[in-house]
């Protein structure tokens, strides 16, 4: 193996390790999960770091902190996201790398942030060799929801529904407990806990009185709870279960969905899990604001008018909302389809 080939292998291994380190950070909130590996001139790993959440040191600075002064001089820094170029709660990573005297920076994903981007250009201006796009497919997939939030200035929106094989979310009398089995319901609670917010309409609150909490197998509340968001203009009963939610509910009239999502983004919420009924679900679909669909299908037939999705603005077959299946999983007797909007 040539020296160049050996160096490339070490860099690729370092990026793989950086992604593993990034996964240790919190998967929710406004900050991305970032991992960093520093290699010396021989290609050996001399330091590792990752971002532990808002207000903590960024991955590059975290890795540098484990090195004595001067040790990072001439090193190669491998990081999952382009080093930031702005002052927030912490200083810019670009400045820290320049002051450390690193020779080369290799990153996976370009930072789309309005304030934080531009790090690569600043590093090049300081004489540092910079390469972007290494393992970009893996990096983009890893940072998927954060990238959507950063690029669109709104949370990543997941729409979930459970239905029979014939597309019904409830029986004719409105009853819907339970269409799917316990395995599917447990999966929903796991995904609730991974989201920053859970959203429903007032119709769901008044009809089902949901707690909107994330719960474990024994019904216990999980440590992390999404912020409940309710859309509608009807008053919620003082006895509503969600008023006892660990997080303060946010109430909106639901007339301006893009404005609602922008508001949630400003509050630091980067992912929204929609569990509203067909009216809320259809409104988000029609507005083109759904990034991911979770459809839990139960092997049963219900019939009747209670569809999971109603009018979404499709009048002809050429207007259909084409989706791409991301995954297909068996949960007990049910099937979970994860789909995303089709892109050409």
User: In this structure, are residues 291 and 319 in contact, taking their beta carbons and an 8 Å threshold?
Assistant: no
Cα pseudo-dihedral 230, 148, 84, 121, rounded to 10? -150
Look at residues 55, 75, 112, 130 and name the one whose alpha carbon lies nearest to residue 63.
75
Q: How far is CA 318 from the centre of its chain?
A: 31
User: Phi then psi for 38, rounded to 5 degrees?
Assistant: -110, 125
Q: Which DSSP string corresponds to 220-284?
A: PBPSS-PEEEEESSSPPPTT-GGGG-SSPPEEE-SS-HHHHHHHHHHTT--EEEE---HHHHHHH
249 burial class (0-12, 13-18, 19+ CB within 10 angstroms)? Answer: middle
Strand order in the sheet with 76-81: 45-50, 35-39, 76-81, 104-109, 129-131
State the Cα–Cα distance between residues 162 and 208, nearest whole angstrom.
15
The bridge status of strand 292-298 relative to strand 323-331 is unpaired
Cis preceding-peptide flag for 178 (omega within 30 of 0)? yes
| Residues identified as active-site | 60
State the Cα–Cα distance between residues 48 and 30, nearest whole angstrom.
23
| Three-state SS letters, 106-147 | EEEECCCCCCCCCHHHHHHHCCCEEECCCCHHHHHHHCHHHH
Look at residues 107, 154, 160, 161 and name the one whose alpha carbon lies nearest to residue 129.
107
């Amino acid at each position: 193996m040539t020296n160049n080939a050996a160096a490339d292998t070490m860099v690729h291994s370092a990026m793989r390790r950086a992604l593993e380190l990034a996964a240790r950070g919190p998967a929710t909130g406004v900050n991305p999960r970032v991992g960093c590996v520093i290699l010396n001139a021989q290609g050996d790993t001399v330091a590792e770091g990752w971002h532990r959440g808002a207000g903590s040191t960024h991955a590059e600075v975290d890795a540098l902190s484990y090195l004595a002064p001067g040790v990072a001089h001439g090193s190669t820094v491998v990081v999952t996201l382009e080093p930031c170029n702005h002052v927030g709660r912490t200083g810019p990573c670009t400045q820290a790398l320049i002051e450390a005297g690193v020779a080369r920076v290799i990153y996976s994903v370009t930072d789309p942030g309005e304030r934080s981007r531009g790090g690569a250009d600043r590093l090049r201006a300081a004489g540092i060799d910079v390469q972007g796009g290494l393992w970009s497919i893996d990096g983009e997939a890893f940072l998927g929801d954060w990238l959507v939030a950063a690029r669109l200035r709104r949370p990543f929106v997941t729409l979930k529904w459970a239905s029979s094989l014939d597309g019904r979310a409830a029986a004719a009398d409105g009853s819907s407990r339970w269409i799917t089995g316990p395995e599917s319901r447990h999966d929903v609670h796991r995904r609730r806990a991974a989201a920053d917010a859970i959203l429903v309409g007032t119709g769901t609150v008044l009809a089902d009185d949901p707690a909107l909490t994330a719960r474990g197998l024994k019904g216990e509340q999980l440590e992390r709870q999404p912020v409940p968001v309710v859309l509608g203009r009807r008053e919620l009963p003082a006895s509503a279960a969600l008023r006892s939610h660990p997080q303060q509910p946010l109430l909106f009239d639901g007339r301006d969905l893009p404005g609602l999502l922008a508001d949630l983004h400003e509050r630091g919420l980067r992912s929204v899990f929609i569990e509203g009924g067909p009216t809320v679900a259809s409104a988000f679909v029609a507005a083109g604001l759904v990034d991911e669909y979770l459809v839990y299908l139960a092997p049963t037939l219900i019939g009747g008018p209670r569809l999971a999705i109603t009018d979404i603005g499709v009048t002809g077959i050429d207007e259909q909302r084409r989706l791409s299946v991301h995954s297909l999983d068996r949960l007990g007797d049910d099937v979970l389809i994860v789909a995303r909007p089709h892109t050409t």
